[in-house]
Structure 1
């Protein structure tokens, strides 16, 4: 299109982008943002609220002498032809206890921290805080049959297997004081952002749990039916000295409301006196003993079920094609009315003083009236063969 303006020609040309004969909407690639820029904008998180803080002890640095000795030991093993031959023949025997000890002294604490992050343990305990469990915390439940069930990092333990306080073990001398807590992260009945404290023992001299100050007596796990797996976390804190926590004494006769606990607020208040160093946790879901627990505390057992939304029904059609008439119409009827009709039909042929008639030996061999529609014939055949809804009543 050309326009004359003061003796000069001005060209006004409108360019359009075309791709395979279609117009492209939006900005051209030379002006639009890249996928990386868009993802960075969508996934933006404020560093003030997302920066993680290490609240535990710093990582122990391996001395140069230990590192050199370890490298020499590895070289010696790799150069041993006898070990290589045994490994090739699948005859090499390895002491698993030595392997576990080596793992705990090297990469074990970092692996435990990664697993705890996967389960959201640190996030729900301390918010932005986390720690590396440098000290191995061993927790065992006595199964009363000369066997013990260990608490590892997320293994499943049933409520019936954790009725009594567990055995807690860790390396310590008699000159240190410790605090052990057992927290349920998912079981609070009234407040979703709070927890229940199941066990709290403080001022433990060395490894003598029985000599510590019990602020909360042990309470067995009670995951409610329909709530899935609950996370029960044991945390070991090392004290700088004797600490008198500002917490009320909780006994077995105390209510569940008195066991409401917020680990983040409690640790923030006492962070100058304690430092987390050990971690162990397990998962627990409902079994029959949970019902007994609520019966003992005179409380009705809460049962949770998923509230499914009503199924979507299309508007009724005047002539539904390729759909059985009776099944199509039953979608828009009250299910109670349908069951009532089946029940009345079933009771119609019942006589309390006579034996029921014998079933048809060959149900499909008995002909149905020719005037009966196809959908009703199929309905009668299902009743004869006892298929479908006739078995629900």
Structure 2
């Protein structure tokens, strides 16, 4: 019988210690469970449900629009008969399969506007947060279809539900039309939901026409003259909403009138749709909606200087400085010049690159022509370290700070 070796004793001792350690001190050896076990801990769905919970009484939305009404039994029966006839029409099925079927788009749009358009527009407006920023917890189904289009030269730019229109294409007031009953009064308001400079809860009203008789925009009272969109640089897309209200009587808007003031007085154009509706909700009801988006472009620089008589505002994101770990005694696998630049003042680095650039600039001579093939240029005969070769390559190719300065 052979005796066990010393290696066998060491291995057995290690296994014994490991087994005892796992039982006595699970945090020291191997994986340990953090928090409650799966049977008692809350799942991700339960945590998200708690975070996104809203009180039903507070989150209940109020419909402030015109009633949609339900289709009559005759209309439903007519639609069913129409669908049956379409499905049994072999000629229409063949044309549809061969992509030769033609339909009347005007008639289709009219039918769509009278049936499913209000719910469709409401869904899109909720997606863009239009009702939330206009009326808070209230909403309405746009029952009256608005046909809005801007003209720029010979080109028409229609307004749908969230499409993009440039400020240069919306310099003049748009062409607007809608279908309504006789002897009715309407109010049309165009506001910018995202553009107020000083008050985040306020808007700028870009157009306000009240007491419009039977869809005749020119026959209404112009309370606020039209002003083109002017989203500042760096603020992204701005939402511009046309809201049409139906009035049950003639309303006096003299306290809101500012067409006798300068068209470019932004303080006079400060507006709140929610306060306006609360003031006149007994005599008007929102009925139509159309909105578009617009963003900054270079043409707005002259608009700010010449029209608004102000310096063009520019907004930038204020990023936090990047995290730089403490210096090491011997950093491995890192060029020392790039490593040291992390801990230097960026102003001094930019100054060095600027001085390097100014050495090649002469007040009476043109700039030197760039190398046609930078990577094919030979190095000088004298010894050049690898880190300096990298800097020369960047200078030739205009990479990094060199490109920023030039």
Scaled by the length of structure 1, the TM-score of the pair is: 0.85
Tell me, in whole angstroms, the C-alpha distance in 1 between the residues paired with 2:84 and 2:185.
Answer: 41
Residues 31 and 112 of structure 1, relative CA distance in 2, 3 Å threshold:
same
Measured after TM superposition, the shift of residue 148 of structure 1 is: 2.2
Measured after TM superposition, the shift of residue 331 of structure 1 is: 1.9
> Which of 63, 66, 70 is the equivalent residue of 2:72?
63
Tell me, in whole angstroms, the C-alpha distance in 2 between the residues paired with 1:353 and 1:169.
Answer: 63
Say if 2:320 is the partner of 1:309: yes
Say if 2:261 is the partner of 1:250: no
Measured after TM superposition, the shift of residue 308 of structure 1 is: 2.3
Residues 330 and 35 of structure 1, relative CA distance in 2, 3 Å threshold:
closer
Residues 23 and 98 of structure 1, relative CA distance in 2, 3 Å threshold:
same
Runs of 4+ in structure 1 off by over 6 angstroms are 349-362
> Which of 45, 52, 58 is the equivalent residue of 2:54?
45
Residue equivalent to 2:14? none
Measured after TM superposition, the shift of residue 386 of structure 1 is: 6.4
**1:118-162 deviation digits (Å, cap 9, x = unpaired):** 0000000000000000110111212231x4221110111111111
Measured after TM superposition, the shift of residue 339 of structure 1 is: 3.8
Tell me, in whole angstroms, the C-alpha distance in 2 between the residues paired with 1:218 and 1:357.
Answer: 52
After superposing the two structures, state which structure 1 stretch, 313-322 or 251-260, moved more: 251-260
Tell me, in whole angstroms, the C-alpha distance in 2 between the residues paired with 1:225 and 1:355.
Answer: 34
**1:61-106 deviation digits (Å, cap 9, x = unpaired):** 1111111111111111111111122222222222222222222122
TM-align CA RMSD: 3.1
**1:20-64 deviation digits (Å, cap 9, x = unpaired):** 985544445555555554433222212232110000011121111
Residues 69 and 31 of structure 1, relative CA distance in 2, 3 Å threshold:
same
Say if 2:144 is the partner of 1:135: yes
Measured after TM superposition, the shift of residue 241 of structure 1 is: 0.9
Residue equivalent to 2:349? 338
Structure 1 stretches lacking a partner, 5+ long: 1-14
Tell me, in whole angstroms, the C-alpha distance in 1 between the residues paired with 2:37 and 2:214.
Answer: 70
The 5 Å alignment of 1:350-389 reads 363-369=377-383, 373-380=385-392, 383=395, 389=401
Q: Number of residue pairs matched?
A: 374
Measured after TM superposition, the shift of residue 376 of structure 1 is: 3.5
**SS at structure 2 position matched to 1:99:** helix
Measured after TM superposition, the shift of residue 349 of structure 1 is: 7.2
Residues 357 and 260 of structure 1, relative CA distance in 2, 3 Å threshold:
closer
Tell me, in whole angstroms, the C-alpha distance in 2 between the residues paired with 1:326 and 1:187.
Answer: 46
Measured after TM superposition, the shift of residue 329 of structure 1 is: 1.3
